[in-house]
Amino acid sequence: MNKRIKYYCFFVLIYVFIIFLSSCNSEINEIKKEEDLIKYKYGYDESKYLFEEKKVGKGDTFGDILEGQGIDYPEIYKAIEKTKNDVDFRKLKIGKPYTLIYTKDSIRKLKAFVYQPSIEEYSLIQLRDSIYAYKDKKERTYKDLSASGTVYNSLYENLGEQGLEPKIYVDLTNRLADIYAWTIDFFRIDKGDQFKVIYTQAFVDDTIPVEITKIKAAYFLHKGAERYAFEYETDSIKGIVEYLDQDAKNLRRAFLQSPIKFGSISSRYNLRRRIAYYGNRIRPHKGTDFAAPVGTPILSTANGTITEVSYTRANGRYVKVKHNNTYTTQYLHMRKSNVKVGQFIEQGDVIGWVGMTGNTSGPHVCYRFWKNGIQVDPFKQKLPEAKPIKESLKKKYFSDIVLIKSELDSVIIKNKTSI
């Protein structure tokens, strides 16, 4: 542990040193470069040690690997005993990477062993001079990146075609869907819709992507209308961050557009629907059906209180939510519900899962919407907006977004053909 502390102190000193230099003379660039040349990997000077990267093979144990490096069993035992409270190498997983660090002497000797159970985490044991071990996370670096495209199928497929890692584009798609959940109907996304996004991506080892940490700005051209989204702190005291559009309007609405994240509308609100099953007679459909696989989470579209959790032959298992004196919603044909009568729930909370209980020919959720006691089509309603930004903050907002907006505007939209 002492060596690590020394190592960190060394860096802090260099840092202070550089700040000091940069404030007083012009030779700093040269000096900075020299300091930068010392590169460390897992705390070991890269010019003084050799690093060998390997992967755990079938049946490999910590003891086997070390024995194969000429360390005999009593020594291995001593090392394990001494460090057993700090690290645990008893269960190495097949396929996970490990690194052997050797001294550059005439006879190369194994100095340390580093096991990497995940992209970010590692466990290190130093085997010579002084024996010690610790677990740590690799240092992250952050980069702002952009993605863009013209939608030909779904947003999801489109981002996948840009060569992004699957985990990253699933994350990006979900975040975009969250930002625009209130303002763009992702079930009605049109061929030819265009989007751009600037996001911050965390990396380890400079090149291995870990996760997206935030969406800084986005742009959607949907049905000919431009809709920007800028991440903005609207309340610095409470630390509230919202997405606002180019007119400083909150993108959040009191209601989500849909009770499921992804899927498709299979039947809309239609008072003149004719159904073959009923001899082609008019059977009004006062709900919107969202088809999705059984087990898909059903989200409450707004904050509210659960007023019914029940089962009928027609509705199957269903949940009803009272949002306020004006609005009530209902969700039918659930496989299972996740709430109790009287429970308060927030927008986006999972209230049940898609099923096919009751009168239904396939898995879907029938979403019903009441305004002042009358069933209406939620897609035809002008739904209330979330709290608008304070007037006093507007001017600052418009000047704060100038730079990021011009960055976003300069992103060239990729067409499917050019990918």
Minimum CB–partner distance for residue 270 and Zn ion (Å): 10
Q: And the tokens for 17?
A: 């040193």
Q: Choose one: 54-62, 84-92, 104-112, 366-374; the region binding Zn ion (CB under 5 A).
A: 366-374
Nearer to Zn ion, 196 or 368 (CB): 368
Nearer to Zn ion, 287 or 304 (CB): 287
Minimum CB–partner distance for residue 310 and Zn ion (Å): 17
Query: Mask: binding to Zn ion, 312-341, rule CB under 5 A, as x and -?
Result: ------------------------------
Nearer to Zn ion, 196 or 333 (CB): 333
Listed in sequence order, the residues at least 6 apart from 207 whose beta carbon sits closer than 8 Å to its beta carbon are none
Q: Does 231 bind Zn ion (CB under 5 A)?
A: no
Residues in 198-217 at the binding interface with Zn ion, rule: CB under 5 A:
none
- Which residue, 50, 62, 54, 61, is CA-closest to 110? 50
Minimum CB–partner distance for residue 383 and Zn ion (Å): 20
Residues in 246-305 at the binding interface with Zn ion, rule: CB under 5 A:
287, 289
Q: Choose one: 110-118, 201-209, 234-242, 365-373; the region binding Zn ion (CB under 5 A).
A: 365-373
Nearer to Zn ion, 270 or 303 (CB): 270
**Sign of torsion, CA 381 387 390 394?**
negative
Nearer to Zn ion, 111 or 333 (CB): 333
Minimum CB–partner distance for residue 364 and Zn ion (Å): 7
Total residues in contact with Zn ion, by rule CB under 5 A: 3
> Cα–Cα distance between 204 and 406 in angstroms, integer?
29
Burial track 346-366 (b if 16+ CB lie within 10 A, e otherwise) = ebbbebbbbbebbebeebbbb
- Which residue, 50, 125, 48, 56, is CA-closest to 91? 56
> Cα–Cα distance between 106 and 128 in angstroms, integer?
16
- Which residue, 94, 105, 92, is CA-closest to 66? 92
Partners of residue 410 on adjacent β-strands: none
The residue of the chain with the least Cβ separation from Zn ion equals 366
Nearer to Zn ion, 170 or 265 (CB): 265
- Which residue, 304, 302, 364, is CA-closest to 333? 364
Q: Choose one: 241-249, 322-330, 360-368, 381-389; the region binding Zn ion (CB under 5 A).
A: 360-368
Minimum CB–partner distance for residue 366 and Zn ion (Å): 3
Minimum CB–partner distance for residue 141 and Zn ion (Å): 49
Stated as kind and residue range, the H or E segment containing 76 is: helix 73-83
The total of other beta-carbon atoms located within 10 Å of residue 185's CB is 15
The total of other beta-carbon atoms located within 10 Å of residue 99's CB is 18
Task: Please state whether beta strands 194-204 and 140-150 pair in parallel, antiparallel, or not at all (unpaired).
Answer: antiparallel
Minimum CB–partner distance for residue 285 and Zn ion (Å): 6
Nearer to Zn ion, 70 or 362 (CB): 362
Among 56, 366, 401, 408, binds Zn ion (CB under 5 A): 366
Nearer to Zn ion, 48 or 188 (CB): 188
Would you tell me which residues interact with Zn ion (CB under 5 A)? 287, 289, 366
